[in-house]
Amino acid sequence: MKILLVYPKYLNTFWSFKDALKFISKKATHPPLGLLTVAAMLPKDWEKKLIDMNVNTLRDKDLEWADYVFISAMSIQKESVKQVISRCKKMGIKTVAGGPLFTVGYQEFENVDHFVLNEAEITLPAFLADLKNGYPRHMYSSKEFPDIQKAPIPLWGLINMKAYATMSIQYSRGCPFNCEFCNITALYGHKVRTKSTAQIISELENIYSQGWRGDVFFVDDNFIGKKRRLKKEILPAIIEWMESKRYPFPFNTEASIDLSDDEELMELMVKAGFNSVFVGIETPNEESLAECNKVQNKNRDLLACVKKIQGFGLQVQGGFIVGFDHDPPSIFERLS
């Protein structure tokens, strides 16, 4: 069996960094971690190739090579997704689609042959079993949230690491909060599920053994969802590993503003090699925070929280939203 994994092209948005990448001679910011993990879940004797359309052109001969094309994407890639599916349909190549875009809106893509939705640790084995028996269904979905300690190490050999600005690793899925505008809890639930300490160290070791030296992004939507475990197990183990390797990776991640409440956690993160964190600040307007259920940001001096995080050695990349129903006309002046 020949499997071509395709990661569609991003539009030129904030997260694509298209105009900035040329200054560091890179073609894309982050590798397609989801597809690389899915690839590691496929039978070892299957032939696998991966085309990240943000790095390489998807040629007809690439598609012709494949028995199946696996596609994963987010909403920002929808335009490219539809083009890839159309090409596959015209060439008679079967498609298997999964990931956030399809999980929340598969109805838009009627030309996809098989949907493997939600988290692959549950739905992909069911598809593979049916495929082996010759009767794969059109739709695979699950309301269960899997134990991610069963997730394999991504198949890094499928990409050219040098094309990317940073490598990626996932420690947890899920978020304890329930911000109205965010679909993370719909996709991954409120209960924060984590990988084991041994898994994280093995994944770091694997990235290191591939020759990578540079930034590593912990892709967790809220890295600090389980603070106690981070402080007692994960970060001490990362610190020990990083010291043994002479700190080959600067780390960055995403976290909620309540990171500023935990000085021990910030100290450990910096000691482990973290130097920046994306924080959803959203708005200084209390009524708007209540509107979107951003409870963790309410009744705070947000600027003081940011300065405190910075004071511990973490650069803060702030996320903001304007246009809430309760935003006053002065919101832009307040943000500036």
CA angle 76, 166, 43 (to 5 degrees): 75
Nearest alpha carbon to residue 273 among 246, 305, 307: 246
Q: Who contacts 75 (Cβ-Cβ below 8 Å, separation ≥6)?
A: 100, 101, 105
Asked whether residue 31 carries a pLDDT value surpassing 90, the answer given is: yes
CA distances from 165 to 73, 134, 204, 290 (A): 19, 41, 17, 37
Q: What is the mean pLDDT of the chain?
A: 97
**Could you report the per-residue pLDDT of 159-179, keeping only the tens digit for each?**
999 999 999 999 999 999 999
**Do 136 and 170 fall within a single domain?**
no
Q: Among residues 140, 158, 181, which one ends one of the domains?
A: 140
User: What DSSP state is assigned to residue 216?
Assistant: E
User: What per-residue confidence (pLDDT) applies to 293?
Assistant: 97
Beta partners for residue 184, in sequence order: none
**pLDDT attached to residue 14:** 73
Q: Give the per-residue pLDDT at 12.
A: 87
Classify residue 174 by its DSSP letter.
-
Residue 336 is predicted with a pLDDT of: 81
Residue partners of 233: CB distance under 8 A and separation at least 6: 197
Residue 153 lies in a domain: no
Banded model confidence at residue 310, pLDDT cuts 50, 70, 90: very high
Q: Distances in Å between the alpha carbon of 205 and those of 69, 84, 191, 199, 270?
A: 30, 34, 28, 10, 20
| Average pLDDT over every residue of 248-254 | 99
pLDDT higher than 90, residue 13: no
In this structure, the answer to whether residues 193 and 315 fall within a common structural domain is yes
**Where does a domain end: 94, 125, 140?**
140
Residue 149 lies in a domain: no
Are 173 and 127 within one domain?
Answer: no
- Based on the fold, state whether residues 83 and 225 are members of the same structural domain: no
Is residue 176 located within the same domain as residue 118? Answer: no
Return d(Cα 261, Cα 280) in angstroms, integer: 15
β-pairing verdict for 167-169 and 139-140: unpaired
Same domain, yes or no, for 116 and 23? yes
Band of residue 16 on the pLDDT scale cut at 50, 70, 90: confident
Asked if 97 and 213 sit in the same domain, the reply is no
pLDDT of residue 138: 99
Count: domains in the chain:
2
Residues 213 and 273 grouped into a single domain:
yes
Looking at residue 77, which CATH number applies to its domain?
3.40.50.280
* Residue 156 placed within a domain: no
Same domain, 123 and 257: no
Mean local confidence (pLDDT), 52-60: 98
The residue behind tokens 């994960």 is 234
The DSSP H or E segment spanning 272 is helix 263-272
pLDDT of residue 104: 96
- CATH code assigned at 226: 3.20.20.70
Distance of alpha carbon 145 from alpha carbon 93, whole angstroms: 31
Q: Same domain, yes or no, for 182 and 35?
A: no
Residues 255 and 327 in one domain: yes
Instruction: Please give the model's pTM, rounded to 2 decimal places.
Output: 0.96
Contact (CB, 8 A) for 267 and 311: no
Domain of residue 33: give its range: 2-140
Predicted confidence band of residue 329 (pLDDT cuts 50, 70, 90): very high
Q: Specify whether 129 is located in the same domain as 8.
A: yes
What is the identity of the amino acid at 44?
K
Interatomic CA distance for residues 232 and 108, integer angstroms = 45
Q: Which of 122, 140, 158 is the last residue of a domain?
A: 140
| Model pLDDT for residues 186-245, shown as the tens digit of each residue | 999 999 999 999 999 999 999 999 999 999 999 999 999 999 999 999 999 999 999 999
**Residue 275 falls inside a structural domain:** yes
Q: How large is the average pLDDT for residues 138-148?
A: 97
